[in-house]
Amino acid sequence: MGLCESMRGWRCRGIAGAFRASVGLSLLGLSLAQSVPPQTTCPAAVAPQSFAPPHYQGTAGEDTIVGFMSALVQSFLHTVQPKPFPKDLILKIVQEVDQSNQEEITRESLVYQVGFLVCVAIGILYIVLMPIVGFLLACCRCCGNCGGKMYQKQTSSIHCRRRALYWSAFITTVIILAGNICMFRSNEALKGSVDQTPVELNKTIYNINTFLTAVPQQIHYVVRESSKTIQEVTRNLDAIGPQVGTGIQEKLRGTMDMALHSVRLLDQETHNTQVQLNNLNSSLAQLQSSMDRLQANVTAVKNRINQTLSKPNCTGCNYLKPELQRLTIHTSISIPSLNEFQSALDEVKKTNFKAKIKEVEDYFNSIPQKVTNDTMDVVESSKLLLDEIKAQISQITSDIPLSALTNVSTSLDQLHGEIFKYTPEIERAEHIRWGVGVALCCVVLLVVVCNLLGLVLGPVGLSPRADPTKRSCTANCGGTFLMMGAGFSFLFSWLFMIVVTVLFVLGGNVYTLVCRPWSNGELLKLIDTPGLIPGFDISPALGLKTNINISDIYRDCAENKPLWTTLRLYEVIDLEDLLNVSKYTEQIQQYFEDTDITLPTLNLLSPEDEKRIRSLSIKAQNFDSTVITQQMNNISSINLNTTADKLDALADVQTNSDTKKELREEARDLRRIQSDIETTITPQLNNLNSSIKSLQTVTDKINGTVGEVLSNVEAAQDFLNTNMTQIIRTESRKFVDCQLNYFIVYANWANVTITQQVGRCGPVAGAVNSVEIVLCSQIVESLNAFWFSLGWCIIFFIPSIIFSMKLAKYYRRMKYSDVFDDHIIMNHIPRAQMKFT
């Protein structure tokens, strides 16, 4: 009764409709919890994958081996030109000056090149004097002077002098041979460098083109990823109903399970009560039918006994008439409160819980569609803002000067074509140059071979104590080869010095004015000089506020920094503003804040339904089985055998056979009726008793279940009244935050990618280094090694000539003899010879 009063109080407060909706949502919540898996409203946003770095070809800058004579040649050139890079002088030469400054510039240039001028002067002096000296020496020897006379004075120190000259000539020849070997190696190295130059330049151009192509692709990749993010958010906006609606369903489902369970339990107990009532009514109907039949049989037997006892010839029958009056059976079996309970139960069944549950399921399933309908306008407005976000992010491609990269790539393609065009001619020219170099090496080698043959054959064929006029042919050949080496040296050395001088001036100045300042960065600083190259100013071209030069770019690229910091693009592009979508996200948030998502009220239980539930509880409490139990006890106490025994006893005293027979037959009928009671009525009474107990058990549960339903529904209703609006708002905000998180993650990724990964310009620095290595470390170093080796050889031609010519006289066969014996020198007096004309 307390529960009923509480229910009536709820209705008086005017929230019965909300109560019914909560019950309906609870019913659907449990049913969906068994069939629909939990869904995540907002999957975590994942940052896009970074792009793979471009593939670059290996160039000469990787694992390059420095030339074998680089240290020696560079040391010599540092000695020749110890002065620093003439930046100011070059600027004066490049810039336009008047005629009055020409002499000053010329003087400064000559002063700067004084080391080279001295070396050139020495070379010219060598070129001039060597053939003159050779010519004079040849003329002098032809006149019998300067060792031309075939006479050798014999002294005690002659062998020591010969050995000294021999080892001096040998060491000099070895030094020349070493220089000749260096000539061969440097000549081959120069050929290999020149042959590889087109290949290395093509690799360098390919790498730069790859870099220039990759930068726009990387920028477009970042922009395309924004499109993917916008598409993802757009798909989520289109699916806002299922996503937000599912979240609302989950929150309601988790709260209403207890209320729904009690309602289902009440429905089940109502069904069980109806089953037990049907069983009780069936048992009552069977028992009532049997009792009616029993009453008819007893009444018939009673009338017959009464007729028999009323006969005049019945002896002593009057004393049984009072017993006969007690032979009455009450056949009315009824439960006064059963009809009322049945009526209340029939009224509750009219509520049709299954139909109501189906109605609530449809309502619950319609929540996503309701959310979709209520947010249709805000979704369309948000999509328009997404288009604006896409256009804003796409502006990155227009702000970054990608067209300049395309122009550079076009120029590189043209350069690649020119290299391909002139490569055959370069190869032919290099083949000719290589042939000339080999010829020079072979001439030097010829001098070395002549010296070595002389040094080998002379000692082999020489007999120290032999008369100089009787020396062997072998020794004489050795002396002749030594003279040939000296003659070849005189003949070719001055020509070689011309080659050395020209290559020295060319290669030395390229090293000191290009390679050395390129290596230490002074050349880049020269290029950074404003106005040096007309129209070449990076900062105005990029629109930078501060000055940027080639040195800074090269230094950053050598560290493989991105273009964002290398070119200081942050001065001309406000990336934070381009990627800042907060103004749009705040507007989207406001759209959703202003959107009202309302769920209609569902009338699951009408006031009449509530009245029926309360009435069922009352009737269940009023159900009383005491009366029928008493009736059943009365029936079970009937014993007709006692009366039958009395009739048998009365029949025994009768004298009239007919009366006696009638009394015995009537007694037998009573016993048969009693037997029928025991075999039919008693089991039916037991069945009825069991049905009553089962019904009593069910009715005892109904009151508790009804109280639990009312209590749980009250709690559910309080939850809905307090939290329903907040649940809708929370799920909407969660959905919006989820979508905005996609942009936050993308913006952070795009910022990091553009500022730290896009356009890592290490390949550009690598290309510059590759050109430097090809030009300086390979071509110039090999060229300098060649002229240095050749100069080395021809410088040592001078002592080689002296030692060879002096040593040759110790091996050649003399025309005049001179004998040294016991300190007495005997000169052979030449005999008179007759000349024939």
What does the pLDDT average to over 564-579?
77
CA Rg value for the chain: 64
- Checking if the pLDDT of 62 tops 50, the result is no
SS3 826: strand
* pLDDT score for 33: 34
Phi, psi dihedrals of residue 209, rounded to the nearest 5°: -60, -40
Which residues are CB-neighbours of 122 under 8 A, at least 6 positions away? none
Distance, CA of 721 to CA of 726 (rounded, Å): 10
What are the tens digits of pLDDT across the range 409-432? 777 778 778 777 888 888 899 899
Is the pLDDT confidence value at 333 over 60? yes
Task: Kindly list the domain boundaries of the chain, sorted by start residue.
Answer: 2-38+242-375+597-756, 70-224+401-520+763-827
Write the CA distances from 303 to 294, 297, 299, 403, integer angstroms. Answer: 14, 10, 6, 129
Residue 719 pLDDT greater than 50, yes or no: yes
For residues 652 and 643, the answer to whether their CB atoms sit within 8 Å is no
- pLDDT, tens digit, 9 for 90 and up, residues 125-156: 999 998 898 888 878 777 766 655 565 566 66
Q: Which of 73-82, 674-683, 809-818 has the lowest mean pLDDT?
A: 809-818
* Most confident region among 9-23, 163-177, 535-549, 747-761 by mean pLDDT: 163-177
Tell me the average pLDDT of the chain: 76
- For residue 10, what are the CA distances in angstroms to 4, 7, 19, 722? 10, 5, 9, 16
**Pair of tokens at residue 97:** 């000056």
CA 177/CA 415 separation, integer angstroms: 43
Whole-number Å distance between alpha carbons of 436 and 187: 10
pLDDT beyond 90 at 727: no
What is the per-residue pLDDT across 207-241, written as a single tens digit (0 to 9) for each?
Answer: 888 888 888 888 888 888 878 888 888 888 887 77
Determine the Cα–Cα distance for residues 554 and 701; give it in Å rounded to an integer: 90
What gap in Å lies between CA 490 and CA 132, rounded to an integer? Answer: 9
Residue 121, pLDDT > 90, answer yes
**In the predicted structure, residue 9 carries a pLDDT above the cut 70:** no
What is the Cα–Cα distance from 165 to 806, expressed in whole angstroms?
A: 7
> In this structure, are residues 787 and 69 in contact, taking their beta carbons and an 8 Å threshold?
no
Instruction: Provide the β-strand partners of residue 818.
Output: 827
pLDDT of 776 > 60? The answer is yes
Of 17 and 533, the structure prediction assigns the larger pLDDT to: 533
Integer Cα distance of 451 and 179 in angstroms: 15
Q: Find tokens 């599912």 and name the residue.
A: 246
d(CA 311, CA 660): 12
pLDDT for position 163: 85
pLDDT value at position 449?
Answer: 94
- Split at pLDDT 50, 70, 90, the class of 357 is low
Q: 572: which 2 tokens? A: 């001309």
pTM for this prediction: 0.66
Q: pLDDT tens, 573-592?
A: 777 777 777 766 777 777 77
Per-residue pLDDT for 201 more than 80? yes
Sign of the Cα torsion 28, 31, 32, 33 reads positive
pLDDT of 329: 67
Give the whole-angstrom CA distance, residue 812 versus residue 467.
11
Please give the Cα distance from 247 to 235 (Å, whole number): 17
Number of alpha helices (DSSP H) and beta strands (DSSP E) in the chain: 31, 2
Q: How far apart are CA 697 and CA 685, in angstroms?
A: 18
CA–CA distance from 264 to each of 274, 342, 690, 697 (Å)?
A: 15, 21, 26, 19
Paired strand residues for 826: 819
* Residue-wise pLDDT tens digits, 264-295: 777 777 777 777 777 877 777 777 777 778 77
